Amino acid sequence: MSLEIKSVLKNKVSAVIFFILLVLNMVQVPNYMGHEYDVEQNMNIFETQIQQYQRALSDINLQYMAVKHMGAEEKVYWNSYQDYLSWAIDNAKAGWNLFNKYGKEVFKNKGLIKRYNEITLWDKLYHLDALKKNGDQKFMRQVHKLGFEEADISFDQSRIFMIGSQISQNKKEDYRTVELSVQEQLHQLETNTEQYVGKGPWYFLAHQLRIDSSFAYLFMPLCLIYCVVVLMYEKKTGVFELEQLNDVHFFVHIQIKLFIAFLLLMIASIGIPFLLLGISNGFAGWDTWLLADTKHFFSFKRMYHTDNYVINNMSEYYATELGFIPDLSFIPLWKALMMSLPLILLKLELYIQMAMFCVYTFTKTGFNYLSGIICIILYVISQRMDLISFINPFSITPSLSVLSGCGMQNWLNSICICVVFIFALLFINYVSVRQKDKMSL
């Protein structure tokens, strides 16, 4: 078997496919060699916050003046919320001034990094308080343990929810989005992984397994082309006739050979840039968090997709119509990769079975290649359009996108589709081989 695998890997088509896979991976390496801190982007974020809080304060002042009869206690709530918005404006201005004064040094100096985290963290925590009474309390132990002292505020944070929760039109979604952001920031601070955000081998690997990756998108066409060409070569050189002396032996033999050969090509093509990035940036970051659709892992329901596709750090998701994060949860990257592995291997086996179907079902060479082309066309269409995706094997998206809820199906549905079609094609292919074997006799 090892000699046969070596023989397949020495084939010219193996060299071509490996070169294509390697190029698809290597072109991404410069994006993850080092993180270029975007000072202007951070300043724009703070500037947007300033404008949003200023508009909110103007609206609150107008509403406050419009209320004719207001009790003393109600005035306290209104004044507390006005003071909160004034503080939020000053806090965002402090963040803007920090980058305006120090630029990229903000991310290189420990004191400035801590100041940046204080500004962003307390903004989120008080935002939670404005949506829910004592909304930040669940995080306070972590915050104090990390050495962050209470911000200097002039408002009563226990009172601001009375007005904030009333005027918020999407309180639940807003709270969930900010809560997830706080969870991620605290996790990065606790594990010291904030320095690896956007760079290193693990971010590279996560990107290559998402729907915006050319490597992941071309995985199916390249695998199918590779397997069809190898099978057609063996068919022409008479290897089929030699191996078909034992149907079962031949069937198992050819599948294992193709499976291992393409898997090695894939691992090598992604392993080389992974090692280069690891040597350059270190191999830390495997426990970085990413958002996943944990509620639908083991069901056949999928999340609703908007047109607002977002990539945020390690995570990807379809934001709601108003820009909020959907109902997702954080899981560590290593766990996501472990759950992705079965789907990746099943997809590889599925594409091998498709290639065997193209070669065994038809006797004429033209039909062998034509059927392969049709499979690729169906795949391209299915990846862009929702065509009976709950039973369509061509619509299965890259593994991490499936876990994050960005796929056409969820994890369990994708696994089931692969298994069903693998066994169906396995049966068809075996029958085709037996029929041809009988005809040759």
Judge if 287 and 388 occupy the same domain. Answer: yes
Q: Judge if 162 and 209 occupy the same domain.
A: no
| Of 175, 192, 209, the domain-final residue | 192
The reply to whether 165 and 132 lie within a common domain is: yes
pTM exceeds 0.75: yes
> How confident is the model at residue 65, as a pLDDT?
76
Q: How many domains does the chain have?
A: 2
Closest CA to 357 of 431, 299, 256: 431
* Cα distance between residue 324 and residue 169, in whole Å: 12
Of 168, 192, 216, the last residue of a domain is 192
Give me 439's structure tokens.
């005809």
Query: Pick from 170, 192, 214: which residue ends a domain?
Result: 192
Rg, Å, the chain Cα set: 28
Q: Is the domain of 420 the same as that of 360?
A: yes
Among 305, 289, 298, CA closest to 337: 289
CA 229 – CA 262 distance, rounded (Å) = 12
- Domain that includes residue 409, residue range: 2-32+201-440
Average pLDDT on 418-432 reads: 91
Between CA 118 and CA 114 the distance in angstroms is 6
Distance CA 441, CA 431 (A): 15
One domain, residues 130 and 212: no
How does pLDDT run across 75-115, given as a tens digit for each residue?
Answer: 888 889 999 999 999 999 999 999 999 998 888 888 998 99
Do residues 19 and 46 share a domain?
no
Residues 21 and 135 in one domain: no
For the chain, percent helix, then strand, then coil, each to nearest 5? 70, 5, 25
Same domain assignment for residues 272 and 296: yes
Tell me the per-residue pLDDT of 34-66, one tens digit each, with 9 for 90 and over: 655 678 888 999 999 999 999 999 988 888 776
Could you report how far apart the first and last alpha carbons of the chain are, in Å? 27
Q: Comparing C-alpha atoms, which of 402, 391, 206 is closest to residue 302?
A: 402
The span from the CA of 373 to the CA of 371, in Å, is 5
Q: Is the predicted pLDDT of residue 236 greater than 80, yes or no?
A: no
Same domain? For 160 and 137 the reply is yes
Same domain for 67 and 187, yes or no, is yes
pLDDT recorded at residue 309: 86
**Can you spell out the DSSP letters for 367-426?**
HHHHHHHHHHHHHHHHHHS-SSTTT-GGGPPPHHHHHHT-SSS-HHHHHHHHHHHHHHHH
Taking a C-beta distance cutoff of 8 angstroms, is the pair 196, 281 a contact?
yes
Instruction: Report CA torsion sign: 98, 100, 102, 103.
Output: positive
Place of tokens 């308080």: 129
Dihedral angle at the C-alpha atoms of 403, 404, 405, 407, nearest 10 degrees? -70
The answer to whether 402 and 414 have CB atoms below 8 angstroms apart is yes
Is-contact 340 400, C-beta < 8 A? yes
CA gap 69, 75 in Å, rounded: 10
Residues 6 or more apart in contact with residue 89 via CB below 8 angstroms: 50, 53, 54, 57
Q: Check whether 193 has a pLDDT greater than 60.
A: yes
- pLDDT, tens digit (0-9, with 9 covering 90-100), for 381-403: 998 887 787 889 999 999 999 99
Residues 211 and 336 in one domain: yes
269 with 346, same domain: the answer is: yes
